Amino acid sequence: MKTENIKIVPKWDKSKDDIWQEAFAGLEEEKAFKKSFTAHLSFLKYAAAAVIAIAVVGTTFAYLYAQTETAARGTHLVITLPDGSATTLNAESKLTYKPYWWFASRNVELNGEAYFEVTHGSRFTVKSNNNTVKVLGTSFNVLARAGQYRVTCLTGRVEVSANRETVLLTPNMQAIFQNSKLVVNESPEAAQSISWTQNKFSFIGVPLVDVVEEIERQYDIQVATTSKLDHLYTGNFSKAKEPQEVLEIVGKPFGITFQIK
C-alpha cells in the first residue's frame, strides 16, 4: 500500500486554544448556575424563615391579646362573642376573652354577674377565680362576686367545678359554692335568676345587706342607715321605680329606713 495515497483527517476542526476556551466557558456557566441555584436556595430559606416568624408572631399575638368588656354601676351591657354567643353583663361586672384565639378555645373570665346564651360548638368555659363552668351549647346564669358564687342552668347541661369538686346541672338546677363546698338545689323558678336582664329583681331569703348592695349597684348610689341589716329578705322590685321608693319597699318589713347619700 502506498502511503502517499493516505490522507489524515484531523478529528477536530477546532484549534487547541478554541477547545480550551470552550471548556473554560462551560466551567464558568456551571459555576454561574451553581451560584444562582445557591442564591435561590438561600432566598427560599430566608422566605421560609420569614413566614415561620410571621406565623409565630401572629399566633402569639392572637393568644396573648385579650379584650375586656365592662358594665359600669347602674348599667347593663349586651355582648356578642365571635361565634355569635350572647352575653348580658349585670351592673358592675367585667368579662374578658381572646377574640383572635376564640375559634381555638372558647374561654372567658367573669368578675360579677352575667347571663350566657351559648351557640353549639366546641367547649365553652367561664372562669371566675378558681371556679369554672363548662358547656357545649346552653343558657345559664353565673354570679361571681366577692364571697358569692352561684350558677343556674336554664337549658342544656352545665358542668360546674369549684375547690376540686365537680357537679353537673340540668335545667332548673342551681349550684351554690358555700362553706368551701358546692351545694346543688332544684330551682323551679330558675328563670327568676335572669330577671335582672329585664331590670326586675327577685330575692328569696337573701341577706338584707346583699339586697341593699344590689340596689346600690343597679342605681349607682350609696345608701346609709343606722339600723342593723341582719335580716333575710324575700321580695322583688323593678328598676322602673325610683331608688328611694325601692328602699322604702325593702326596708318596710323590718322597720328600717334608708337614706341616699
What residues make up the domain containing 203? Answer: 199-260
Place of cell 353537673: 168
Chosen domain end from 173, 192, 211: 192
Same domain, 188 and 205: no
173 and 245, same domain (yes or no): no
- Could you read off the pLDDT of 37-61 as tens digits, one per residue? 566 666 666 666 655 655 555 556 4
| Co-location of 57 and 158 in the same domain | no
Q: Does residue 181 contact residue 166 with C-beta atoms inside 8 Å?
A: no
Exposure class string for 15-30: b at 16+ Cβ within 10 A, else e: eeeeeeeeeeeeeeee
Same domain, 105 and 161: yes
pLDDT at 136: 84
For residue 182, the SS3 value is strand
Q: What is the CATH number of the domain that holds 92?
A: 2.60.120.1440
Shortest CA distance to 184 belongs to which of 174, 197, 194, 172? Answer: 174
Q: What is the CATH number of the domain that holds 203?
A: 3.55.50
Considering the domain boundaries, does residue 11 fall inside one?
A: no
Q: Taking 60 as the threshold, does the pLDDT of residue 22 lie above it?
A: no
Q: Mean pLDDT, the chain, as a whole number?
A: 85
In a domain, 224, yes or no: yes
Query: pLDDT class for 188, splitting at 50, 70, 90?
Result: confident
- Looking at the structure of the chain, the number of domains it has is 3
pLDDT band at 183 (very low <50, low <70, confident <90, very high): very high
Q: Using 50, 70 and 90 to split pLDDT, how confident is the model at 65?
A: confident
Say yes or no: 188 and 71 in one domain.
Answer: yes
